[in-house]
């Protein structure tokens, strides 16, 4: 087949790719924006402007399974909160084998104002995912509160974290305030993979759509989720999402479809301190839940791989090859698509204080994501789906879409 004929054929996917990127950048809720963050709150300010009422009680829930290595870095940040109201921390030692619960008690010794209760769990009951079961156990055991902060054992918080979350929730009337914690980018593998993970998450769950009552898109970031407790109880508690493996998205959807107002943003100060020093560590982290995100559906898997190829593969491949061959009918739309995807990636690189040239590598990162997703499906077929610290999700999760 003549070269010109080949590129005449390739012009079709090139124009499709450009149409995809114009639609994403212009009509996908400004997902690429990384400036949606909590406003600062003075230490002396009341939770609502002009109000003189006391700060509401907050319970912090920390599910922890074999987290003795990371807790000395993270738990003290919760114990050091400057929150003016009553703050209680409930850590659920989820059948740990490394002394997580005992270590947590030792770390809390000497804490003057904030109390820590450690509950021992023996694993999830039938039909429940481990993390959701641990969260539910804490809710049933803790005292009354207006808000619950669900946070992970690997998350470190600045001293004003709870105060700012509560102030924003009350000022805006939000039932869910969630922050995408800043993930580690210390290793070369993390710097290559992590920003694309954040970028892809917001592409799936644009914050503007999450906070809009007119949009059905719902979600949250599990490392930091402040929830109005009365709204969660009205939604039936955590039982409706008992089997959810992607619990944060399921919780956000549960609250929104039952009338709650939800908000999602970014932060530099709430940080995940869990390291992923090798590419293999990141591969396992993503492959653990990627196929679950697709509801373990092989057709969705095939569509995802095709979509990744059109969206991220065609622009650089057809653009460079077409330009080299002088086939501008294919090269021009492909290169324009590549320019749009590159520009849209720059804000997340700025958020992570990484060099702008990394935006040119996004297509290679997304090719890796495609491979990780296929591997995730392979693991599920072999009965190793969702493997995490000795537990395996054999059949994925019940789709949160059932709630709608």
Q: How far apart are CA 172 and CA 174, in angstroms?
A: 5
Q: How far apart are CA 183 and CA 76, in angstroms?
A: 19
Q: Is the pTM of this model over 0.75?
A: yes
Q: How far apart are CA 246 and CA 397, in angstroms?
A: 8
What is the secondary structure of 167-209 as a DSSP string? Answer: HHHHHHT-SEEEEEEEPP--SHHHHHHHHHHHHHHHHHS-HHH
At residue 50, the pLDDT reads: 39
CB neighbours of residue 339 within 10 Å: 14
Q: Give the model confidence (pLDDT) of 325-367 as tens digits.
A: 999 999 999 999 999 999 999 999 999 999 999 999 999 999 9
Residue with tokens 């991220």: 312
Q: Give the model confidence (pLDDT) of 323-336 as tens digits.
A: 999 999 999 999 99
The CATH number that domain 58-186+204-275 falls under is 3.90.550.10
CB 352 within 8 A of CB 185: yes
CB 134 within 8 A of CB 121: yes
Return mean pLDDT, the chain: 91
- Cα end-to-end distance, the chain, whole Å: 50
CB 132 within 8 A of CB 103: no
Sign of CA dihedral 392, 395, 398, 401: positive
Burial class of 144 by CB neighbour count within 10 A (0 to 12, 13 to 18, 19+): exposed
Q: Give the model confidence (pLDDT) of 75-128 as tens digits.
A: 999 999 999 999 999 999 999 999 999 999 999 998 888 999 999 988 899 999
What the block records as the tokens of 291 is 């196929």
Write down the H helix ranges in 326-383: 328-351, 362-381
Domain boundaries, the chain: 3-30+292-389, 58-186+204-275
Q: Give the model confidence (pLDDT) of 288-336 as tens digits.
A: 889 988 889 999 999 999 999 999 999 999 999 999 999 999 999 999 9
């Amino acid at each position: 087949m003549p070269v010109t004929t080949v590129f005449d054929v390739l012009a079709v996917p090139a124009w499709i790719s450009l149409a995809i990127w114009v639609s994403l950048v212009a009509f996908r809720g400004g997902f690429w924006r990384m400036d949606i963050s909590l406003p600062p709150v003075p230490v002396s300010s009341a939770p609502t402007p002009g109000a003189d009422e006391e700060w509401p009680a907050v319970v912090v829930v920390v599910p922890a399974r074999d987290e003795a290595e990371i807790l000395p870095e993270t738990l003290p940040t919760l114990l050091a909160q400057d929150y003016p109201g009553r703050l209680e921390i409930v850590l659920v030692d989820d059948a740990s084998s490394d002394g997580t619960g005992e270590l947590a008690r030792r770390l809390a010794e000497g804490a003057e104002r904030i109390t820590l209760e450690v509950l021992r769990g023996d694993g999830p009951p039938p039909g429940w995912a481990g993390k959701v079961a641990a969260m539910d156990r804490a809710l049933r055991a803790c005292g009354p509160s207006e808000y619950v902060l669900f946070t992970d054992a690997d998350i470190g918080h600045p001293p004003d974290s709870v105060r700012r979350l509560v102030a924003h929730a009350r000022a805006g009337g939000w039932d869910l305030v969630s922050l995408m914690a800043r993930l580690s980018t210390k290793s070369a593998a993390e710097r290559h993979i992590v920003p694309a993970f954040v970028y892809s998450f917001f592409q799936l769950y644009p914050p503007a759509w999450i906070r809009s009552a007119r949009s059905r898109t719902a979600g949250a970031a599990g490392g930091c989720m402040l929830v109005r407790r009365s709204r969660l109880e009205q939604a039936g508690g955590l039982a409706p999402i008992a089997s959810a493996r992607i619990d944060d998205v399921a919780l956000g959807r549960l609250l929104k479809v039952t009338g709650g107002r939800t908000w999602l943003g970014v932060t530099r100060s709430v940080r995940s301190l869990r390291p992923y020093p090798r590419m293999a560590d990141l591969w396992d982290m993503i492959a653990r839940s990627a196929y679950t995100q697709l509801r373990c559906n092989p057709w969705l898997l095939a569509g995802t791989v095709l979509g990744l190829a059109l969206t991220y593969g065609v622009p650089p491949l057809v653009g460079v090859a077409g330009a080299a061959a002088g086939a501008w009918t294919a090269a021009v739309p492909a290169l324009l698509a590549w320019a749009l995807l590159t520009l849209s990636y720059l804000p997340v690189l700025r958020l992570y204080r990484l060099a702008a040239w990394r935006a040119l590598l996004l297509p290679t990162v997304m090719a890796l994501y495609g491979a990780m997703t296929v591997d995730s499906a392979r693991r599920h077929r072999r009965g190793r789906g969702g493997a995490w610290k000795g537990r395996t999700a054999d059949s994925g999760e019940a789709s949160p879409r059932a709630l709608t």
